[in-house]
């Protein structure tokens, strides 16, 4: 099934570039691995190198690269899975994370550590996504 028909709702609310990044990678992964979860994981891994999830959509990152420790893994190590930041750019500066948290209305952000900001942004993103789907 072509990626455009499987485009996740968060990507439907994102830029054309984000949609094309996910779609091209997804279609290529389907050819390589077949339809299913692995193709989706591959597409999201590619997306997270250039985009970060902010609220209910994806925005282009200032700098390309892995978004968290799991995204930095490759090969068999990556396929074994692990905890991800759910699209939050955990490798961004604390200042950037603070700004994202501020845009999302995260309470108590000024007292949070970098790891706490990542977790709070992830929760805020999930809330926004749920709200947008209803």
Asked whether the predicted pLDDT for residue 112 surpasses 70, the reply is: yes
Asked whether the predicted pLDDT for residue 2 surpasses 80, the reply is: no
**Mean pLDDT of the residues in the chain:** 90
Question: Residue 92: which of 55, 124, 54, 130 has the closest Cα?
Answer: 54
Task: Give me the mean pLDDT over the 63-80 stretch.
Answer: 76
Which pTM was predicted? 0.84
* CB count in 10 Å sphere of residue 31: 9
Asked whether the predicted pLDDT for residue 25 surpasses 50, the reply is: yes
Say what the pLDDT of residue 3 is: 59
Q: Is the Cα torsion angle 43, 48, 49, 50 positive or negative in sign?
A: positive
Say what the pLDDT of residue 70 is: 79
Angle at 97 between CA 80 and CA 54, to 5 degrees: 70
Tell me the pLDDT band of 1, cut-offs 50, 70 and 90: very low
How many CA atoms does the CB half-sphere of 118 hold within 13 Å? 19
Say what the pLDDT of residue 94 is: 97
Strand partners, 57: 54
CA 127 to chain centroid: 15
Task: Give me the mean pLDDT over the 116-123 stretch.
Answer: 97
Structure tokens at 9: 């709702």
Asked whether the predicted pLDDT for residue 15 surpasses 50, the reply is: yes
What value does the CA radius of gyration of the chain take, rounded to a whole number of Å?
A: 15
Residue corresponding to tokens 């591959």: 42
Task: Give me the mean pLDDT over the 75-93 stretch.
Answer: 80
| Contact by Cβ (8 Å): 93, 50 | no
Structure tokens at 11: 């990507």
């Amino acid at each position: 099934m072509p990626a455009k028909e499987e485009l996740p709702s968060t990507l439907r609310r994102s830029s054309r570039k984000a949609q094309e990044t996910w779609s091209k990678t997804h279609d290529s992964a389907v050819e390589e691995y077949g339809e299913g979860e692995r193709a989706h994981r591959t597409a999201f891994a590619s997306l997270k190198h250039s985009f970060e999830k902010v609220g209910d959509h994806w925005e282009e990152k200032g700098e390309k690269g892995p978004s968290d420790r799991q995204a930095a893994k490759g090969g068999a190590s990556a396929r074994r899975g692990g905890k991800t930041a759910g699209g939050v750019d955990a490798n961004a500066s604390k200042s950037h994370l603070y700004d994202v948290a501020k845009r999302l209305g995260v309470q108590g952000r000024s007292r949070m550590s970098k790891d706490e900001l990542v977790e709070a942004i992830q929760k805020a993103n999930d809330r926004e996504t749920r709200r947008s789907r209803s």
